[in-house]
Amino acid sequence: MKTPDLSLAELGTYFPDDFTPEQRAKAQTLFLKELAASAHRFYRGKIVSMPKAGIYGFNWFNVYYTPGVSMVSTSIRDDNDASFDLSNRGNLVAVVSDSTRVLGDGDVTPSGGLGVMEGKAFLMKYLGGVDGVALCIDSYNKEGKHDPDKIIDFVRMLQPSFGAVNLEDISQPNCFKVLDTLREECDIPVWHDDAQGTASVTLAGLINALRVVGKEFKDAKIVLLGAGAANSTAARLLLADGADPEKMVVFDSRGGLHKGRDDVKADTAYYRKWEICEATNPGRIDTEEEALKGADVIIAASKPGPDTIKPEWIHSMNAKSVVFACANPVPEIYPYAAKEAGAYVVATGRGDFPNQVNNSMGFPGILKGALLVRARKITDGMAIAAAHAVADFAEKKGIGPDSIMPTMEETEVFAVEAAETAMQAIKDGVARVELTWDEVYNTTLADIQEARAAIDLLQKNDFIKTPDLKMLEVARDRAVAAVRA
């Protein structure tokens, strides 16, 4: 059992040799949670605001503030689009959440989502060169219920200050109304990363998983477990990209979605679910056991496991089956158990297992591409283009059963993704400005490198403090003790 180091490069070796694979997986999860709590307390969050303009003497405040800045105000008054050039708006994303569906923890109260939203802003900057602001809001109405209209009104009001809005961790069915209303009514991209973002990277991962197992996309029998924002949108993107609706079955907590689900049809708030009912599962299959017999793919974004997906279900699937168990923080089945049951390719949403299918591979590049061409929305076509960019990037590097996706360390993938997203925005007619593929790629790569260089400089000069290794040891020991208990 090794002492943890700051790189966290060998997570599995931090735990006792006598741990079973299941105990090791549990310890890994608990260790990361304990370390997260300590690190956030140490840093008091992850994000700080810093000027990007130079200070050459106190008289420059007369330039950046009054009286000089008056000309900036009147210039934007006369042409609102000038705000993209004269302020940071063109590279600024609002990360908006009411914190009602945070990871596997559900409703954590408005301020409970701050850790995740700051994390989203952190990844935006480091992976995409994009500035993000965490905005966790209270969506309760006078009756004590979460009101989607409050979120809609809030986003409408903040539009003038941001280049895009990333909706996050909003429970269903509110998330559907919020996204679809704002996509049409706002003049900047509003996207729900739990929906379009997760769906885009799921498509990317599936493209390469099917390449690895030698199966055609249009021929694959696909089962989706869970019908929340992620899988509802994944189903839509998969169908738009060529999946066969007659070979797709989607499950919610009450069974298979199909035209006989009068309960879904009657609840108009779940209109996205009803679209799936109308398009898929013509055989009206109602049980996971039946659906998975002879299936090629299961994509789960449902209840955290590790027993949500049964090993016997996987055993009944076709040879060289593909299992995506993407619940966080604990997948619906651990990878080792899925492999033991016969799965050939296994992916999760976590970076400490092979094949991470997580929206962190999508939103930094997609948002950057949308921002650079000043897109008015992010279309499904843009999300699909990004998925193919990610999949093709990984394929060129070499793919296999444990390597269907690029990693976050491959900086170039985000620049390629941004460029492909931007080109699709232009094709779809939602871009305010037209740039070339190379212009978007080079700008994105330069902005990412600048962000990372700045963080490195702050660390080297001790403006970002280095935590004591004892913090890691304590987190490890607490995790081991909890598993042994």
Tell me the catalytic residues.
65, 120
Q: Are the C-beta atoms of residues 418 and 372 closer than 8 Å to each other?
A: yes
Torsions phi, psi for 262 (to 5 deg): -65, -25
Half-sphere exposure of 311 (CA within 13 A, CB side): 10
Q: Which residues pair with 131 in a beta bridge?
A: 92
Residues 6+ apart with CB under 8 A from 199: 230, 233, 234, 236, 237, 383
Contacts of 201 by beta carbon, 8 Å cutoff, 6+ apart? 357, 358, 359, 361, 362, 387, 390, 405
Angle separating helix axes 229-240 and 271-279, nearest 10 degrees:
40
Distance CA 325, CA 303 (A): 10
Query: Strand (E) positions, 10-111?
Result: 92-97
User: Tokens standing for 453?
Assistant: 């260089």
Phi and psi at 132, nearest 5°, equal -130, 150
Cβ atoms of 136 and 113 within 8 Å: the answer is yes
Long-range contacts of 260-267 (CB under 8 A, 24+ apart): 260/284, 267/173
Q: Are 373 and 91 in contact (CB under 8 A)?
A: no
Contact 82, 75 (CB under 8 A): yes
